[in-house]
Each structure stands twice: as structure tokens, then as C-alpha cells.
């Protein structure tokens, strides 16, 4: 016959599926009732999130433990832990989850670069922000998570492919930044025709099967919108912060707000807004022409309660015959300087 003390002993080592701490640590074992005549045990269990698939798995696990311990029947009631307990363990849980994902020690800061629609220069921002962070002395990597619209290797002028060492993929390095992209695994620019679960597996591989080493920042170039890959990233990287890219056009900013709202709803902090293609400045007259409108970035920042970190004009990188990198702005280029300023702001904030 099970006793209350025995039930506590059996359940103490069980982990909360969200906090990755034992029920003993979180105080997750609540009221216990035992009906001796029916050999029935009922337990109130407190966890970080209720009514989830993880709760169902935990429920089955606890039932099996108690039945193996001698109970004939088991009744469970789940409630949410107090907010102060969740807040106490949440950051540590995030770090442990993400360290496990990269196969290393916690400490890497994740930045997801998102947009509401394609064509606003999200990948260009990802590449140049990563290089700017590297120029400021940080160890940086990029995951080109835009599985269907991968473009980072071409933008950076990457011509080699990753190699496999043991069971790990060694990322390509360009301008001191480590890079992994779907583009490395597709021949002849073929289209990728995958469904959601397959995309999730590829994204997991980019984390777990790549030898990233020690990184200060890992940037993720997300697909535009709020689809499967964006959802997977929000689930895999609870502490990732987001950078939203838009043009100044009101419609682009309106659509970008959806990506921002998704970040807010999944508890991802928004680092700020980058307004790309903000204007064109004539080299002849010096006049600024607002080709795609004006004010969209500011309006978006107000809606998302964030700030505009930078406004980038339309301008090409300098031509360099010896270096092929069509979307990389040189350090002394005006836009290269603008990216450096954005990177410095991000380091201060994150």
C-alpha cells in the first residue's frame, strides 16, 4: 500500500517538462489523497504550463510511476505553478534548452531576423549585421533558416561547402562569420518542396549537427511571415530576441507588424526595427528621395512598443574586383558604418 511519503518519494525526481527542474525543486507536488480500500491515489501536480501536449505526456509518466509503485488507480489534477516560481526557473530552463540544442555551454545570444513579407532586405540585414558584430570583436554565426528562399551564401560570396568531421558539419566561414544554409545542400538551385515537419527536422539539424564552437551571437535569417519555420524557432529558442525588418512603405510596415505581434505573443523580446530602403540620396544633388514612402518604420516601432535602430538608404556596396560578395558593405562604406552603429546598439541592449 502506497503512503503519502512514498508518493512524494516516487514523484520528487520527475521533471517539469517546461522548466526542466524536478517537482521537488519547484514544489510541484500538491495535495495527495489515498483511498486505502480501493488502493486509489490522487495527486495535484503543479507545472509551468497546463493543457498542453507536454502535460499529457507527463500525466502518463506519473500514472505509470504510481501504478508500478503499487497503486491500482490514479487520479491527477494539474494546476499552474505560482508566477514567482516560474520566473525563478524560466531563464535557467531556457539556457539549458538552448545549450543542449547547440551541444555546448550556455551563453550564445540568439537574434531572429524577421519580416512580414519578402523583398524588404531581411537577408541583407542579417548578413551585414553579422559582419558588423564580427568587426566589433564578437564571435558570430548565421543560420540561413529561409529554407525556401535561401540567399545568404550568394550574398556573402560563399563558394565552398561545409565539410563533415566525425558526426558534425563544419560550417563555412566568410568574413570571420560562420554560415550554414539550405543552399549548401541543394544542387543547381533546385526548388525545395517540403512540408512543415521536414522543415523542423532540417532546422534542428542546423542546430544540433553543426560544430558551431563558442559563439557570442547566432543570427537566424527567418522566412518572411509567420509560418512553420518561424513557429519552430519560437519553440526551440525561448530566449531569442527579434529584429524586425521593413521598408518605410505603410503596407510593408503593416504586414511586418504581424511578425512583431507573433514575437510578442511567444514572449520574444523585440530588439528593434530596421527600416531598409529608407530613401535614395542623389550623389549629384544630395537630395533625399523617399521612393518607398516615409514613416513606416517609426509607425511600426510605435505599434510594437519598440524603437527604430537604423534607417538604411538605397545604395550599392563598393565594387571590389578581388572580392566577390555582392551584398556585403565595406567597413568604410556609409551603409557599413550604419550597420556598425546598429550592431553597437544591439550589443548595448543584448
Q: Is the pLDDT of residue 77 over 70?
A: yes
What pLDDT, on the 0 to 100 scale, is given for residue 208?
81
For residue range 232-278, list pLDDT tens digits in order: 666 677 678 899 999 998 887 888 887 787 777 766 789 999 999 99
| 233 vs 217: CA distance, rounded Å | 15
For residue range 291-316, list pLDDT tens digits in order: 999 988 998 999 888 999 999 999 99
238 neighbors 94 (Cβ within 8 angstroms): yes
For residue range 133-173, list pLDDT tens digits in order: 999 999 999 999 887 778 899 999 998 888 888 888 899 99
Ramachandran quadrant class, 127 (left: phi over 0; alpha: psi -120 to 50; beta: rest): alpha
Domains within the chain, CATH numbers bracketed: 4-81 (3.30.300.130), 93-349 (3.40.50.300)
What predicted TM-score, i.e. pTM, was given to this entire model?
0.69
Burial class (CB in 10 A: 0-12, 13-18, 19+), 280: middle
Phi and psi of 128, rounded to 5°? Answer: -75, -30
Ramachandran quadrant class, 300 (left: phi over 0; alpha: psi -120 to 50; beta: rest): alpha
Amino acid at each position: 500500500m502506497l503512503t503519502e511519503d512514498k508518493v512524494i518519494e516516487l514523484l520528487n525526481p520527475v521533471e517539469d517538462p517546461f522548466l526542466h527542474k524536478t517537482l521537488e525543486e519547484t514544489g510541484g507536488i500538491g495535495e495527495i489523497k489515498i483511498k486505502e480500500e480501493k488502493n486509489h491515489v490522487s495527486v495535484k501536480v503543479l507545472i509551468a504550463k497546463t493543457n498542453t501536449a507536454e502535460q499529457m505526456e507527463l500525466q502518463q509518466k506519473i500514472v505509470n510511476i504510481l501504478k508500478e509503485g503499487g497503486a491500482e488507480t490514479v487520479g491527477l489534477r494539474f494546476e499552474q505553478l505560482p508566477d514567482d516560481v516560474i520566473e525563478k526557473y524560466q531563464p535557467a530552463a531556457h539556457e539549458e534548452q538552448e545549450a543542449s540544442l547547440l551541444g555546448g555551454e550556455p551563453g550564445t545570444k540568439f537574434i531572429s531576423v524577421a519580416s512580414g513579407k519578402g523583398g524588404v532586405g531581411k537577408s541583407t540585414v542579417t548578413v551585414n549585421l553579422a559582419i558588423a558584430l564580427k568587426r566589433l570583436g564578437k564571435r558570430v554565426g548565421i543560420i540561413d533558416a529561409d529554407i525556401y528562399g535561401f540567399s545568404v551564401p550568394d550574398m556573402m560570396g560563399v563558394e565552398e561547402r561545409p565539410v563533415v568531421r566525425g558526426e558534425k558539419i563544419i560550417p563555412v566561414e566568410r568574413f570571420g562569420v560562420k554560415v550554414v544554409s539550405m543552399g549548401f545542400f541543394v544542387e543547381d538551385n533546385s526548388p525545395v518542396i517540403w512540408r512543415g515537419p521536414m522543415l523542423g527536422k532540417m532546422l534542428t539539424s542546423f542546430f544540433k549537427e553543426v560544430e558551431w564552437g563558442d559563439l557570442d551571437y547566432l543570427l537566424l535569417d527567418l522566412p518572411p511571415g509567420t509560418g512553420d519555420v518561424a513557429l519552430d524557432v519560437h519553440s526551440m529558442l525561448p530566449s531569442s530576441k527579434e529584429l524586425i525588418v521593413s521598408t518605410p512603405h505603410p503596407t510593408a510596415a503593416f504586414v511586418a507588424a504581424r511578425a512583431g505581434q507573433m514575437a510578442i505573443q511567444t514572449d520574444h523580446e523585440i530588439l528593434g526595427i530596421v527600416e531598409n530602403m529608407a530613401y535614395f540620396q542623389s550623389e549629384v544633388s544630395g537630395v533625399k528621395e523617399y521612393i518607398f514612402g516615409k514613416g513606416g518604420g517609426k509607425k511600426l516601432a510605435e505599434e510594437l512598443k519598440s524603437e527604430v535602430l537604423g534607417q538604411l538608404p538605397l545604395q550599392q556596396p563598393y565594387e571590389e574586383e578581388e572580392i566577390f560578395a555582392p551584398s556585403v558593405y565595406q567597413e568604410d562604406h556609409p551603409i557599413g558604418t550604419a550597420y556598425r552603429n546598429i550592431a553597437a546598439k544591439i550589443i548595448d541592449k543584448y
